[in-house]
């Protein structure tokens, strides 16, 4: 797991052909907008969250975010424990995000 600033996260993501963006916020938070192309898996769903994460392709690079960067950091730590080699946490999360968002 690696914590990246918004600038580092977006630059690395733009150059990564093997990237998956992962939004771990709640449904209510996602209703306010989501980063384009992101897959939504709510970290508060407990075992269901773990099951959905385990079903993901471990060969991909995951760019993970939440509202503030805290839950996405936890999600990255869980992903590390599950054998994911590349999980990148967006520091500051959506609170600091200045990029585009789209409605679901």
Rounded to whole angstroms, the Cα distance separating 52 from 8 reads 27
CATH number at residue 6: 3.40.250.10
Q: Is residue 104 domain-resident?
A: no
Q: Decide if 13 is inside a domain.
A: yes
Question: What does 65-79 look like in DSSP terms, one character per residue?
Answer: E-SSSHHHHHHHHHH
Q: Which domain holds residue 87?
A: 2-96
CA dist 10 and 96 (Å) reads 13
Q: How many domains does the chain have?
A: 1
Residues 66, 75, 78, 79: which is the catalytic one? 66
Q: How far apart are CA 20 and CA 11, in angstroms?
A: 14
Identify the helix (H) or strand (E) that includes residue 28. helix 27-30
Residue 66 falls in the annotated catalytic set: yes
Render pLDDT for 29-61 as a digit per residue (tens, 0 to 9).
Answer: 999 999 999 999 999 999 999 999 999 999 999
Q: Go through the chain and tell me how many residues it has.
A: 104
In a domain, 102, yes or no: no
Tens digits of residue pLDDT in 56-89: 999 999 999 999 999 999 999 999 999 999 999 9
Q: Indicate yes or no: pTM above 0.85.
A: yes
Q: Report how far residue 62's alpha carbon sits from residue 41's, in angstroms, rounded to the nearest whole number.
A: 13
């Amino acid at each position: 797991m690696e914590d990246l600033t918004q600038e580092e996260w977006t630059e690395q993501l733009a150059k990564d052909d093997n990237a998956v963006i992962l939004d771990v916020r709640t449904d209510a938070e996602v209703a306010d907008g989501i980063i384009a192309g992101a897959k939504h898996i709510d970290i508060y769903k407990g075992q269901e969250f773990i099951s959905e994460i385990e079903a993901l392709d471990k060969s991909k690079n995951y760019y993970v975010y939440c509202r503030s960067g805290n839950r996405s950091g936890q999600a990255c730590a869980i992903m590390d424990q599950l054998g994911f080699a590349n999980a990148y946490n967006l520091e500051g999360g959506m609170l600091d995000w200045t990029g585009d968002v789209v409605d679901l």
